[in-house]
Amino acid sequence: MIRNVEEIHEYIGNVKEMDVFLQKVADIKNFLSRFDSLEVLINHMKVLERQAYMLKDYFTVEEAALYLGMSKSQIYKMTSQKEITVYKPHGKNVYMKREEINEWIGRSKILSSYDLIYEAEKNSREWAELNAKSNNKRNK
């Protein structure tokens, strides 16, 4: 009798495992249904793999070139001319911080016509205020 109870318990455990397995299969099927085919999913995963490097804090020369849309030789030229900071642990491989690359991009800012006019007007007002203060001090 005890043996029968153990067999029933084992059978129920197997049924529960089967239910869990079937639920997981249903979840996978549901996930895959979001894509037209397995090939579309694989292509999507490949795109994500190619872009995953952008999440890294430090880039290799190859990754920096991809990130900036430049050739590796342009990156090496920039590093040799010290346009961008590099890190060389053990004096071998060259790495660049993503954050510093973004800062470098920001330093290459070219203002729009609107921004130039705005800056000129702002500077003109500031100059007029300073000039007025200077004249007031002289007249006292």
What pLDDT was estimated at residue 61?
Answer: 94
Region of residue 87 (phi > 0: left; psi between -120 and 50: alpha; otherwise: beta): beta
Return the H-helix or E-strand segment holding 59: strand 58-60
What pLDDT was estimated at residue 6?
Answer: 66
What pLDDT was estimated at residue 104?
Answer: 92
Tell me which residue has tokens 């995953």.
Answer: 52
What pLDDT was estimated at residue 21?
Answer: 79
What pLDDT was estimated at residue 12?
Answer: 63
| Encoded amino acid at 63, one letter | E
Q: Are residues 76 and 34 in the same domain?
A: no
Q: What is the pTM of this model?
A: 0.53
**How many structural domains compose the chain?**
3
What pLDDT was estimated at residue 87?
Answer: 94
Q: Are residues 42 and 63 in the same domain?
A: no
| Encoded amino acid at 42, one letter | I
Mean pLDDT by 10 residues, the chain (140 residues): 61 72 83 78 85 86 93 94 92 92 89 88 87 72
Q: What is the CATH number of the domain that holds 92?
A: 1.10.10
Length of the chain: 140
What pLDDT was estimated at residue 4?
Answer: 65
Q: Which residues pair with 60 in a beta bridge?
A: 95
* Residues 6+ away with beta carbon under 8 Å from 41: 32, 35
Range of the domain at 23: 2-49
